[in-house]
């Protein structure tokens, strides 16, 4: 019980919120972060190992990146093909899936009928069906029904586009709900046609969501494994994830694969940074308006 005779420091201790700095939860969070990053850090560290050992440190070296004339990432044609195939699939999937997802989101948002509920379910397709089942189904489809689509780059691209279509559709749909229709209606009142309102008003306002969905699709394809593993045909169509798994799982892994995995991690990290910075820049005016509105509201 706090009385009038209680000193000021004692009152502050009694009134202090016990959850303001939960030491246990902070410690548990840092422990989880360390446990998650430690294996990744070790894999990256041994990609710079001077020897072939995966357990004994033999000195720092760039041997497995550029130094070894046969097995480094710079000189091994197998690793070159895996990197090229990964970037090719990521680019193809992003260029195809994002416009389709944007069109799908706009169409579903404008669609006012009973089948629209089924279309909304299709939007979350990849979040409902396990990727393994989806990949096996596509494998049988391409081998029994659409035999003209051979396993390889084409089959991988079709599978990845179908799988990642939900990302731009959901993100753009959420953006459509937040901005409403008043801007398009204002453009129509000023004489713009429906296509003009979409091209000159709606799409520029959807640009942050489109950019964010493109970043998510691109980064998701870089580390995708299940679909590309099932739909690849030869070693020339194996991306980095499949090459790393197949060699490491078979016991033939080495520091060169660690270097390849490090580059794979670097690609994803760079794409994530570009996406974060780009989205912040594209929504800077919106955040400023929101902050000013909150400050005005707080001062009332």
Q: 95 pLDDT band (50/70/90 cuts)?
A: very high
Three-class DSSP category at 228: helix
Helix axes 255-282, 77-110, angle to 10 degrees: 30
Residues 170-186: tens digit of each pLDDT = 888 888 888 877 777 78
Instruction: Give the sign of the dihedral formed by CA 284, CA 285, CA 288, CA 293.
Output: negative
Query: Going by C-beta distance under 8 Å and a sequence separation of 6 or more, which residues neighbour residue 103?
Result: none
User: Is the per-residue pLDDT at 110 higher than 60?
Assistant: yes
User: Is the per-residue pLDDT at 94 higher than 90?
Assistant: yes
pLDDT at position 295 is: 41
CB atoms within 10 A of CB 95: 14
Query: Going by C-beta distance under 8 Å and a sequence separation of 6 or more, which residues neighbour residue 13?
Result: none
Domains of the chain: 76-285 (1.10.3720.10)
Q: 217 pLDDT band (50/70/90 cuts)?
A: very high
Report, as an integer, the average pLDDT of 145-163: 89
DSSP state string for 188-203:
HHTT--HHHHIIIIIH
Token representation of residue 62: 């760039």
| Higher-pLDDT residue of 119, 2 | 119
Rounded Cα–Cα distance for residues 296 and 245 (Å): 55
pLDDT at position 88 is: 93
Token representation of residue 103: 């069109």
Asked which of 5-19, 148-162, 194-208 is least confident by mean pLDDT, the reply is 5-19
Q: 91 pLDDT band (50/70/90 cuts)?
A: very high
User: Is the per-residue pLDDT at 244 higher than 90?
Assistant: no
Alpha-carbon distance values, 138 to 81, 130, 183, 236 (Å): 24, 13, 41, 20
Residue written as token pair 């990302």: 167
Q: 250 pLDDT band (50/70/90 cuts)?
A: low
**Phi, psi (rounded to 5 degrees) for 92:** -60, -45
Expressed in angstroms, the distance from the first to the final Cα of the chain is 36
| Higher-pLDDT residue of 71, 31 | 31
Q: 160 pLDDT band (50/70/90 cuts)?
A: very high
In this prediction the pTM is: 0.79
CA dihedral (232, 251, 257, 87) in degrees, to 10, reads: 10
Report, as an integer, the average pLDDT of 278-287: 76
User: Is the per-residue pLDDT at 83 higher than 70?
Assistant: yes
| Higher-pLDDT residue of 17, 245 | 245
Percent of all residues in the chain with a pLDDT value above 90, rounded to a whole number: 13
DSSP-derived letter for residue 64 is: I
């Amino acid at each position: 019980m706090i009385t009038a005779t209680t000193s000021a420091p004692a009152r502050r201790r009694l009134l202090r919120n016990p959850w303001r700095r939960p030491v246990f939860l902070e410690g548990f969070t840092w422990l989880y972060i360390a446990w998650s990053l430690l294996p990744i850090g070790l894999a990256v560290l041994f990609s710079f190992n001077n020897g072939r050992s995966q357990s004994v440190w033999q000195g720092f070296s760039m041997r497995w990146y550029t130094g070894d004339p046969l097995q480094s990432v710079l000189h091994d044609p197998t690793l070159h093909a895996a990197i090229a195939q990964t970037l090719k699939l990521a680019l193809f999937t992003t260029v195809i899936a994002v416009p389709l997802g944007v069109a799908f989101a706009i169409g579903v948002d404008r669609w006012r009928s009973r089948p629209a509920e089924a279309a909304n379910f299709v939007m979350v397709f990849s979040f409902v069906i396990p990727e393994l089942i989806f990949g096996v189904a596509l494998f049988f489809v391409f081998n029994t029904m659409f035999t003209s689509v051979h396993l390889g780059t084409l089959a991988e691209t079709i599978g990845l586009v179908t799988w990642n279509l939900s990302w731009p559709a959901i993100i753009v749909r959420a953006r459509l709900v937040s901005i409403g229709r008043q801007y398009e209606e204002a453009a129509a009142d000023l004489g713009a046609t429906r296509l003009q309102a979409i091209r000159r008003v709606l799409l520029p306002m959807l640009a942050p969501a489109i950019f964010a969905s493109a970043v998510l699709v691109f980064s998701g394809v870089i580390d995708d494994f299940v679909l590309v593993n099932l739909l690849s045909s030869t070693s020339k169509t194996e991306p980095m994830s499949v090459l790393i798994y197949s060699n490491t799982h078979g016991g033939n892994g080495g520091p060169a694969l660690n270097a390849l995995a490090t580059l794979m991690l670097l690609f994803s990290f760079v794409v994530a940074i570009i996406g974060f910075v780009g989205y912040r820049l594209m929504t800077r005016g919106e955040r400023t308006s929101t902050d000013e509105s909150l400050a005005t509201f707080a001062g009332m």
